[in-house]
Structure 1
Amino acid sequence: GRRDPVIVPGAPWEGAECGGGGIDPERSAREEMLGIRDGFGGGPRCPWVARSPSRSPSVAPAGEEPPGPETDGARGGFQSVRGVRNHEYQGLVKHTGGCHCGAVRFEVWASADLHIFDCNCSICKKKQNRHFIVPASRFKLLKGAESITTYTFNTHKAQHTFCKRCGVQSFYTPRSNPGGFGIAPHCLDEGTVRSVVIEEFNGTDWEKAMKEHKTIKNMSKE
């Protein structure tokens, strides 16, 4: 059965390394994410959480235009989204992040209070793959389409994308949410995350876990 999520409040910022995640072969715009063991179960080592309450992330007012679909060229079959339609971003913040070497950079609109999944499937376990899920329209690849490569296996639904140079997976397209992206919280830049909730997901019995979970599929919907 599912365990209750672990709530991790704001904590001191400490260095950490990042691991990786997946992409959907049928979707040209899908990329993968990363995970980290630091901070598991709460405690002081959650490097993606803002250092102190005094540095509260600025929240966007209503009417902010999101990154919509934009084509980042045909490089690597990648697409991002620009100007498809306007969104109400009230209550969300713009996070930025990327890989270790800086070749891959992105921005994403999400809450300052993140709901993070910690999956134990074969690849997520090896990669320590933690992520939060957003609709594709709230994600924008700023640079690095040509620096991204993709790994898939088994059903080939998850698109595990990572930087060719440093090997870090900062985002991906999860099997559970082909219409969105999984973002590695530890690959976000400092200062925009207020708190996190970590929920364990039983990926070793994926089909059963998906049937039991009531909200995960909706996390990539507008």
Structure 2
Amino acid sequence: MRRTRSAVATGPREQRRSGATGGLSGGESRAQRSRSRTRAGAGGGGGAVGPQPSAKPRPKPPPRAQEAAAEEPPPAVTPAASVSALDLGEQRERWETFQKRQRLSFEGAAKLLLDTFEYQGLVKHTGGCHCGAVRFEVWASADLHIFDCNCSICKKKQNRHFIVPASRFKLLKGAESITTYTFNTHKAQHTFCKRCGVQSFYTPRSNPGGFGIAPHCLDEGTVRSVVTEEFNGSDWERAMKEHKTIKNMSKE
């Protein structure tokens, strides 16, 4: 009985393996026949299909060109300058202490020291119009030399002013609040605040490369003395010829 069960159990397994193998063989035969037909149709009468032409490789550059490309140095990279890269030597500790004490950035500390050196003997005045829309700063002497002009417009608006080079003047705010009036030669630029009407500075005809600053528009605390000189602007051409220094007051 054991042999009978063994034979029964073995028979179906062998049949399944045989059937699976036969199915695979049949599939391979059909695939082979299909490929044969395809080759025959492509060959036009059963001829073998030749190998397809392959893409031509790109020609390599000549050795000299390769050597020249290899010899070319890479572009130089210039590192950005940094504060730590500056050679302050033994003054580095003093510089850093100065910055901390004054609560200044590196640029602010440099500006303060440069202003003090370049504008030696001068003080920084600040001022502006009545409503505060226009504010400026200007480096000038604490002892001001004021011109009192009697030309047609200066007489009407009492335009007393001292003259400085443009490099010593800085408009802090209010460019959009300023309007300008000109007449006659249009060389003088009579600028004033369009909100309150005050002229705190302007560009004089005598010094188009500088500014005329109204001393009465400066903040208190920086003016030590004032000397006023009358200027005969009603006879402007003659007054300019006779005056020895006014035309050079806007020069560095």
TMscore range, shorter length: 0.5 to 0.7
The letter for the 2-side match of 1:114 is L
Structure 2 runs not aligned, ≥5 long: 1-111
The letter for the 2-side match of 1:142 is L
Structure ID, larger Rg? 2
CA contact under 8 A between 1:64 and 1:89: conserved in structure 2?
A: no
1:4-153 equivalences in 2 (<5 Å): 64-66=113-115, 88-153=118-183
The letter for the 2-side match of 1:65 is L
TM-score, normalised to structure 1, is 0.62
User: Are the structure 2 counterparts of residues 64 and 123 from structure 1 closer, same or farther at C-alpha, using a change threshold of 3 Å?
Assistant: farther
Deviation (angstroms), 1:177: 0.1
Tell me the percent identity: 94
Distance 2:118 2:134 in 1: 27
Alignment equivalent of 2:185, drawn from 146, 149, 155: 155
2:194 match:
164
CA contact under 8 A between 1:97 and 1:106: conserved in structure 2?
A: yes
Instruction: Calculate the aligned-residue CA RMSD, in Å.
Output: 1.3
User: Are the structure 2 counterparts of residues 149 and 87 from structure 1 closer, same or farther at C-alpha, using a change threshold of 3 Å?
Assistant: farther
User: Are the structure 2 counterparts of residues 95 and 148 from structure 1 closer, same or farther at C-alpha, using a change threshold of 3 Å?
Assistant: same
Structure 1 runs not aligned, ≥5 long: 1-62, 67-85
The letter for the 1-side match of 2:114 is E
Q: Deviations over 1:120-168 (max 9, x none)?
A: 0000000000000000000000000000000000000000000010000
Deviation (angstroms), 1:212: 0.3
Deviation (angstroms), 1:186: 0.2
Secondary structure of the equivalent of 2:114? coil
The letter for the 2-side match of 1:93 is V
1:25 match:
none
Q: Deviations over 1:41-67 (max 9, x none)?
A: xxxxxxxxxxxxxxxxxxxxxx8434x
Alignment equivalent of 1:200, drawn from 218, 230, 243: 230
Q: Deviations over 1:10-64 (max 9, x none)?
A: xxxxxxxxxxxxxxxxxxxxxxxxxxxxxxxxxxxxxxxxxxxxxxxxxxxxx84
Distance 1:121 1:209 in 2: 11
Alignment equivalent of 1:187, drawn from 210, 217, 229: 217
Secondary structure of the equivalent of 2:146? strand
Distance 1:88 1:104 in 2: 26
CA contact under 8 A between 1:106 and 1:140: conserved in structure 2?
A: yes
Deviation (angstroms), 1:192: 0.2
Q: How many residues align?
A: 141
Q: Deviations over 1:149-204 (max 9, x none)?
A: 00000000000000010000000000000010000000000000000110000000
CA contact under 8 A between 1:171 and 1:184: conserved in structure 2?
A: yes
Deviation (angstroms), 1:88: 1.3
Distance 1:117 1:87 in 2: 28
Secondary structure of the equivalent of 1:169? coil
CA contact under 8 A between 1:136 and 1:180: conserved in structure 2?
A: yes
